[in-house]
Amino acid sequence: MQLLFEEYLHASPSMHERSSVASSNIEYDDGMEEVMDKFDTYLSQDANARSQSQLELYLNESPLDRRQFSNLDVLDYWKGNSARYPELALMARDILSIPITTVASESAFSHSGRIIGKFRSSILPENAEAILCAYNSDSDEEEEQLSTDIEKLVSELGGISIQK
């Protein structure tokens, strides 16, 4: 998690870059320009110190009471805390938007006919085919059955339309 967080830190613009873009049209006299440069440097150092410890600050917080927040919408939580933890909020948004499958892998990829159904998964047909192809069969008969199962699966998944 630390490595992923560091990637988000490097990818997001620093506070100094954000403030310099916003103030680039303002003109100061020579004395004030030096003061503003020092202030920008201070903001940059302060923002970097806070950004580097966002993950630690969040992990050191006491956990929410699950009884009190039993209906917590995690995406809303991170949207509300995006000012406090900007990089963590971006990271949470990206990770939590990954679709999940609701099928146990044993039943999804077994040869007993319980292969992924129309309403049981969000796996793309190409991905399901690749996963099934990775299966290492022991006999030609199993390989033929696998090929038939793959063709059936791809045709079933190819006709699925997602409605919002």
60 inside domain: yes
Please name the residue ranges forming H helices in the chain: 2-11, 15-22, 30-52, 54-60, 74-80, 86-96, 105-108, 125-133, 140-158
Q: Under DSSP, is residue 1 helix (H, G, I), strand (E, B) or coil? A: coil
Give the confidence band of 80 by pLDDT, cuts at 50, 70, 90. Answer: very high
Alpha carbon 67 to chain centroid, angstroms? 26
Q: Indicate the average pLDDT of the chain.
A: 72
Spatial distance between the Cα atoms of 161 and 51, rounded to a whole number of angstroms: 42
pLDDT, position 119: 56
Q: How many domains does the structure of the chain reveal? A: 2
Neighbours of 37 (CB within 10 A): 11
The residue among 96, 122, 140 that closes a domain is 96
Q: DSSP letters along 104-148, please?
A: -HHHHS-SSS----TTS----HHHHHHHHHT---SSHHHHHHHHH
Q: Which of 101, 139, 104 is nearest to 121 (CA)?
A: 101
State the average pLDDT over residues 126-140: 62
pLDDT, position 107: 59
| pTM of the entire predicted model | 0.41
34 inside domain: yes
Name 86's Cβ contacts closer than 8 Å, sequence gap at least 6: 12, 51, 54
* Per-residue pLDDT tens digits for 2-44: 888 888 877 776 544 444 444 455 666 667 778 887 777 777 6
Q: Which of 18, 82, 16 is nearest to 54 (CA)?
A: 82
Spatial distance between the Cα atoms of 64 and 61, rounded to a whole number of angstroms: 9
137 inside domain: yes
> Given a cut of 60, is residue 113 above it in pLDDT?
no
Same domain, 126 and 59: no
Same domain, 83 and 11: yes
Provide the domain limits for residue 110.
105-158
